[in-house]
Structure 1
C-alpha cells in the first residue's frame, strides 16, 4: 500500500488517484474515504512480517519468534534506541552508525504538505546524513542542524529544493535506485531552475541543494553530473564572494563543504584522461596561477576551509610531470622542499573552542586531519618524483596511518584510503584497508566506496605482476583511474 493512498483503495489493492477529500473510486462506490497513517498489529499467527535482525536480550541470547514483539517504529525511533543501548553499555547492532555521544536529532516542525512516506524518508536522512554527507566536518551534528534549518526554514521554493534533494538522497540510501529517487530529484531540479532570486536565503539554500544532489549523482555514477553540481555550488558562492557577510558564522560550513569537493575533484582530474577534451574544459572552471613556496592564498580555496585542503589544492596543481620544462629547475626543487615543510607542520588538533562534551569527536577529527596530512606527504614524495620504491620515511608514515585507521570507528574519506591503500604490499595490510572500506559501507552504500575498492584491487594486481621491477607511480594511477568512463570521486 502506498503511503498516500486512501484506506479503502489500499485494502482493495486498487489504484487510487489520491484526490482530496475523496478519491474518484470512493466517490463512485459511495464509500468513506480516509487518508493518513493507520496503525495495525499482526496476529500471533501472522508470518508476513519480519525483523531486520534477530532480537537479542542483554545476554545476547536470541529470542524465539513467539517471544518477539512487533512495533510500529520509525527510523528515528530505532536510532534513539541504539543510542540508549550504547550508553547503557549493552552494545550495539553491527549496522549502527551512531556515535555513543550523539543522540539522533528530532524534528520539532514539519512542512504541512509532507506525507507519512516523506516523513519517514526525512527521519532516515537525519539519521544517516552525518555519515554520508559530513565526511569532512569537525562537528557533524552542527552541520546536520544547519541542513535541517535550510529545508525547514519556510515554505518557499528554495526550501523545497533542499527538502526534495534530501528526500531523493534518503530514498536512494534506503530503497536503492527506484522511481521515487527520480521523482524527488526532478522536483528538486525543477525548483532550482524556477526559484532563482537574489535573496540571501535563496542563494544559501541553492548551494545546499546542489551539494546534496552532488552526493546523489556520485552514488548513481552514470555520468559526470556530480561534478557539475559542485561547480554550480561554487559559482553561486563566488558570485557573492566568500568573504561576504552572509557566509560568516555557521554558513561558512557550506563554503568548506563545497571547497572540499572541489579540492578532491582536482586529484581526479589530474589522473582521469579518458576524455582529454572534457578534462581541459572542466579544468577551466578553477584556474590557478603559478605560486611560489610562500603559499599565498589561491582564490579557489578560502580561509573558511581547513589549512590541509589549501595545501592539497596547491599540491594537486603544482606537481609537475617529468616532461615539463620546469621539472629539473631549482625553482621547482625549492618549491617542493618549502611545500613539504609547510605541509608537515600543519596542526592536526581540534580547535580549543570545541566543547569537552564532544571529546570523542575531537579525537576523531584530529585523526582524520592527520590521515589527510600523511596521505598528502606520501603522495607528494611519490608523485613529485614519480617514485615507486621503498624508503624508511615512507614506511614510517604508512605504519602511522595504519594505526590511525585501526583506532577510528568509521573512516569513509576516499582519497586518504586510496593513497594509503596504494602502499599496501602485503595481504595483511590489504585486508585491513578493505575492512575499513567495508566498515564505511555499513553507514553509506555509496558507489564511490565500491569504485574505490575496485581501483585499489586493480592497482594491487599491477604491483603483484611487476616482479623484479617497479611500475611508474603516476602512470599506474593514470592508467587505472583513467580506465573509467566516468570521472571517479574520492570524497
Structure 2
C-alpha cells in the first residue's frame, strides 16, 4: 500500500489547539473554539505550551531534542501492550561508556485531556480485579464515578502488590483499602496516589485528579481535626499522603507528614483487646519509623528528636515484609546515624580528643559486632523466599554504612579500606541474584556512595536504578539517582574531599530543602 501524501502546498501544521494536538487530529483552527471542541464541548485553547525540565523528568519523557527519532518504526500489532517508561540517561546494556552531564556550576562548587467512556472500559478489560467479597466491593464501586472507580482499581491491582514482599501480609491492600470505603479523606488520598502514578508514566488523563483529590484529602483531615474525632483512619490518611509525596518527587512535605504521623501514634491511646487497632498501629509505626531512619542515612541532616518505641509484643528479629529488614536492624542503623551526626557536629568546630577517638572506636566495634551477630528470619506466613536474601543484603549495607559514616582515623580519602572493599564486593554479589524492586533502593544508594571510583560498580548501580524506574517512576528513586550521579561527578572532578567523607546528599538535599526517602 502506498503511503498517503498530503495535498500540494499543505504542510504539517503546528498552530492547532491543545486538545486536537493531544488527540493527534487535524484542527480546523476556528477562533475562539475549533469545530471539534465545540462538538465535544471541551475547552479550546491556543498558544505556546511550556514544558519544564523537572516536569519532563517526573513524567519520564524527553525534553526538546533529547529523544531519538527514526523513520523506521516497529509496527504495533493488535493486542500489543505499549509501556511508557523513563529514558535511561546514562546506562546502556551494550557496555558503552557512561556519560555524566557536567555543567559550569559543578566546577564552581554550586550545584487537559478528556477521557471517554470507551477509554475507561478498555482499561477495565486490560486489568480485571478479583475481590474477596465481590458483592460488597461491587456495590461500593457503583457509588463512584468512572474516574474514581478506575483509579481505585488501579491502586488495588497495580500499586498494592508492589508495596510488600509478601502477598499475604499487605496492609495497603487488606487494611487501607477497606478503611478507604468508610473514611472519605483516605479514599481521596488513595485515588490521588493512583492518579499521580498514572501521571508519572505520561498518562495525562488524570493529571487534574492527582491534585484535586489530594486537596480533598487535606480538607477532609482539617474537618476531622475540627470535629475532634481523630482515629486510625486519620493516621492512615496521613501515611498515604506521605506515600504520595514520596512517589511524586520527594517534596519536603513528605517529612512533615511523617513527623506528624509519628507524633499522632505516640499520643493516640491504644484500645485494649482490639486486634485491629494493634495491627494498624504496628503497620503505621513501622512505616513512619523506617522512613525516618532511612531518610537520615542520605546525608548529614539533623537526627529527628521524635522518640519511637516498638510494641511490647514485636519481635525485633522478624523481617518486616514492607521494609525487607527487621526492627533490630533499623535500631542499629538509627544508632549509627545518631553517632555520625554527633561526630559531624564536633568535627565542624574542632578535632577529636584522644578520649573521643577511643570512644568512637569502641562504639564502631560494638555496632559492628551487633551487626555481625544480628539474626533476621522471615515471618512464617510469608511464602516469598527472597525476603531473607533482601534482609541479608540490607544487613551488609548497614555494615558498609557503619564504616563509611564512622570512618577510622587511619582510613584515607582516596581509596576505600580493605574491609570496605570486601563489603562492597559482597553486597554486589548479593544484589545480583535478587529481583530489582524499590526495596533495594537503600543498598544501591549506599553502594554508589561507597564505591564511586569503580567503573563497573557505577554501571551496576545506575543500571539497577534505571530498571527500578522502568517498573515504577518513583520520585524517591529519581532523586536518589540524581544524588548518586552527583557523587560520581564530584569524584571525577575531585571537588572537595569526596573520597571518604559522608558528602552525598548534603549539598543537594540542603539546596533543595529535601530529604530523599530510601526505605
TM-score class, shorter: 0.5 to 0.7
Is 1:175 the equivalent of 2:205? no
The residue correspondences of 1:65-84 to structure 2 (distance < 5 A) are: 78-79=126-127
After superposition, the C-alpha distances for 1:93-145 in whole angstroms (9 at most, x for unaligned) are: xxxxxxxxxx97667312553112111111111123236644x8795545422
Contact (CA 8 Å) 1:75, 1:123: kept in 2 or not?
A: no
Q: For residues 251 and 244 of structure 1, what CA distance do their matches in structure 2 show?
A: 12
Displacement after TM superposition at 1:342 (Å) = 1.0
Structure-to-structure mapping, 1:375-454, within 5 angstroms: 375-385=397-407, 387=411, 388=413, 389-413=415-439, 414-424=441-451, 425-454=453-482
Call closer, same or farther: CA 1:476–1:440 in 2, change over 3 Å: closer
How far apart are the structure 2 equivalents of 1:236 and 1:117? Answer: 32
1:265 to 288, 291, 295: 295
- Residue number in structure 1 paired with 2:152: 122
Q: 1:346 to 1:479 in 2, by over 3 A?
A: same
Deviation at 1:284, TM superposition (A): 6.0
Q: Distance in 1 between matches of 2:399 and 2:143?
A: 51
Aligned partner of 1:235 in structure 2 is 263
Q: Cα distance 1:163–1:300, how it changes in 2: closer, same or farther (>3 A)?
A: same
Instruction: Supply the distance in 1 between the matched residues of 2:220 and 2:188 (Cα, whole angstroms).
Output: 9
- C-alpha offsets along residues 202-227 of structure 1, whole Å, 9 cap, x if unaligned? 52111211111112222444841111
Q: Name the CA distance, whole Å, in 2 between partners of 1:417 and 1:433.
A: 6
Alignment of 1:196-275 (within 5 A): 196=225, 203-221=231-249, 223-240=251-268, 246=274, 247-249=277-279, 251-268=281-298, 270-272=299-301
Q: Distance in 2 between matches of 1:174 and 1:393?
A: 44
Q: Indicate conservation of the 8 Å contact 2:249/2:479, yes or no.
A: no
Correspondence for 1:295: none
- Aligned residues of 1:169 and 1:216 also touching (Cα < 8 A): yes
**Candidates 453, 459, 482, aligned match of 2:510:** 482
Distance 2:241 2:492 in 1: 39
Contact residue 231 and residue 285 of structure 1 kept, 8 A: no
Aligned to 1:195: 224
Measured after TM superposition, the shift of residue 182 of structure 1 is: 1.1
Normalised by the length of structure 1, the TM-score is 0.67
- In structure 1, stretches of 5+ residues that fail to align are 2-8, 17-46, 55-69, 81-102, 273-278, 288-298
Deviation string 1:65-109 (CA, Å, 9 cap, x unpaired) is: xxxxx99866575356xxxxxxxxxxxxxxxxxxxxxx9766731
Alignment of 1:313 with 2:334, yes or no, is yes
1:318 Cα deviation from its structure 2 partner? 1.8
CA contact (8 A) 1:259 1:301 kept: no
1:441-462 deviation per Cα after TM superposition (whole angstroms, max 9, x unaligned) = 2332112211111111111122
Let me know the Cα RMSD of the aligned residues.
Answer: 3.7
| Matched positions, count | 381
Gaps of 5+ in 2: 1-18, 20-35, 44-75, 84-117, 315-325
Q: Which residue of structure 1 lines up, in the alignment, with residue 386 of structure 2?
A: 364
SS at match of 1:349: coil
Contact persistence 1:76–1:127 (CA under 8 A)? no
In the alignment, the residues of structure 1 paired with residue 459 and residue 507 of structure 2 have an alpha-carbon distance, to the nearest angstrom, of: 23
Q: CA deviation at 1:336?
A: 2.0
Query: Using the alignment, how far apart are the partners of 1:307 and 1:163 within structure 2?
Result: 33
C-alpha contact (below 8 Å) 2:171/2:283 kept by paired residues? no
- 1:439 and 1:76 map into 2 onto residues whose CA distance is 27
Deviations 1:318-372 (A, max 9, x none): 2223627577343333222112111222223313x225xx2xx2x2221221222
Aligned partners of 1:365, 1:126: CA distance in 2, in Å?
22
In 2, Cα distance between equivalents of 1:372 and 1:241: 33
Q: Does 1:162 find its partner at 2:186?
A: yes
Kindly state the Cα deviation for residue 188 of structure 1 after the two structures are TM-superposed: 0.4
What is the CA-CA distance between 1:165 and the residue it aligns to? 0.3
Match of 1:113, SS? coil
